[in-house]
Amino acid sequence: WFMAIPESAEPEELNQMILIRLHGTIWNHLMFGALYSGWAIQLFMTGDVSTQGLVVAFVGVSAFGIVLCLMHVRGAVVAYLGSALVPLIAFMWMSEETHFRTGAFIVIMVALVFVIVLNRYSRGFARMINQANLVKRQKLEAERLGKANLALANQDSLTGLANRRCFMSTLERRVNDVKSHRISGIAVGILDLDGFKLINDVYGHSAGDKLLVEVGRRLSALQSSRVYISRLGGDEFGIIVSNKMNDSELIEIGELLCDAIKAPFCVSGKKTHLGGSVGFAKWADQSDTGESLFEKADYALYHAKENERGGVIIFAAHHAEIIREVREVDRLMQDADFIDEMSLVFQPIVLPNTATTVGFEALARWNSPLLGNISPDVFIRSAERAGTINKITAFLLEKALGEAKKWPEDLFISFNLSMQDITSSEAMVRLIAIVNSSGFDPKRITFEVTETSIMDNYDTALLSLSLLKNMGCKIALDDFGTGYSSLSYVRALPLDKLKLDRSFITGIENSEDACSIVHTMVEMCQSLRLDCIVEGVETKDQLSILSAMGVKLIQGYYYSRPLCSNDAVDFVLEERRLDEFRESPMTQSDMAVIG
CATH number of the domain enclosing 362: 3.20.20.450
Q: Is 417 helix (H, G, I), strand (E, B) or coil?
A: coil
> Is residue 384 exposed (0-12), middle (13-18) or buried (19+ Cβ within 10 Å)?
middle
Which has more pLDDT, 527 or 411?
Answer: 411
State whether 416 and 369 are in the same domain.
Answer: yes
What's the full length of the chain, in residues? 595
State whether 63 and 114 are in the same domain.
Answer: yes
In sequence order, the β-bridge partners of residue 271 are 266
State whether 311 and 377 are in the same domain.
Answer: no
In a domain, residue 139? The reply is: no
In a domain, residue 141? The reply is: no
CA 176 to chain centre: 23
Question: Other CB atoms closer than 10 Å to residue 275's CB: what's the count?
Answer: 15
State whether 384 and 276 are in the same domain.
Answer: no
Distance CA(362)–CA(393), nearest Å, equals: 11
CA dihedral 19, 22, 27, 33 (to 10 degrees): -170
Q: What's the pLDDT at 411?
A: 95
Q: How far is CA 88 from CA 59, 116, 588, in A?
A: 9, 20, 158
State whether 376 and 291 are in the same domain.
Answer: no
Question: Other CB atoms closer than 10 Å to residue 567's CB: what's the count?
Answer: 14
Residue 400: its H or E element? helix 389-404
Give the total number of structural domains in the chain: 3
In the sheet that 227-233 helps form, which strands lie side by side, from edge to edge? 227-233, 236-242, 186-194, 275-282, 312-314
pTM of the predicted structure, to 2 decimals: 0.62
State whether 298 and 404 are in the same domain.
Answer: no
State whether 299 and 366 are in the same domain.
Answer: no
Distance CA(70)–CA(50), nearest Å, equals: 30
Query: Is residue 164 within 8 Å of 190, Cβ to Cβ?
Result: no
Please state the rounded mean pLDDT for residues 543-557.
90
What's the count of helices (H) and strands (E) in the chain, helices before strands?
21, 16
In a domain, residue 152? The reply is: no
Helix, strand, coil shares, percent, the chain, to 5: 60, 15, 25
**Out of 141-145, 441-445, 473-477, which region has the weakest mean confidence (pLDDT)?**
141-145
Q: List CB contacts of 553: < 8 A, sequence separation 6 or more.
A: 349, 350, 351, 352, 358, 497, 531, 532, 533, 534
State whether 366 and 297 are in the same domain.
Answer: no
Going by pLDDT thresholds of 50, 70 and 90, the confidence category of residue 595 is very low
Last residue of a domain, one of 107, 129, 151: 129
Distance CA(568)–CA(349), nearest Å, equals: 11
Q: Which of 235, 288, 298, 531 is catalytic?
A: 235
Identity of the amino acid at 421: D
Going by pLDDT thresholds of 50, 70 and 90, the confidence category of residue 303 is confident
Query: Is residue 207 within 8 Å of 268, Cβ to Cβ?
Result: yes
DSSP state of 230: E
CATH number of the domain enclosing 289: 3.30.70.270
State whether 202 and 74 are in the same domain.
Answer: no
Question: Other CB atoms closer than 10 Å to residue 251's CB: what's the count?
Answer: 17
Predicted confidence (pLDDT) at residue 244 exceeds the cutoff of 70: yes
Question: Tens digit of pLDDT for each residue in 33-42?
Answer: 788 777 877 7
Q: What's the pLDDT at 191?
A: 95
Could you give the maximum distance between any two Cα atoms of the chain, in Å? 172
Going by pLDDT thresholds of 50, 70 and 90, the confidence category of residue 592 is very low
**Mean per-residue pLDDT over the chain, rounded:** 83
Last residue of a domain, one of 84, 110, 129: 129
Question: Tens digit of pLDDT for each residue in 310-369?
Answer: 889 999 888 878 778 878 888 888 776 788 889 999 999 999 888 899 999 999 999 988
Q: Is 235 a catalytic residue?
A: yes
Domain containing residue 229: 164-315
Distance CA(293)–CA(304), nearest Å, equals: 16
In a domain, residue 1? The reply is: no
Please state the rounded mean pLDDT for residues 72-89.
73
Question: Other CB atoms closer than 10 Å to residue 143's CB: what's the count?
Answer: 10
Q: How far is CA 248 from CA 39, 188, 291, 467, in A?
A: 93, 15, 24, 50
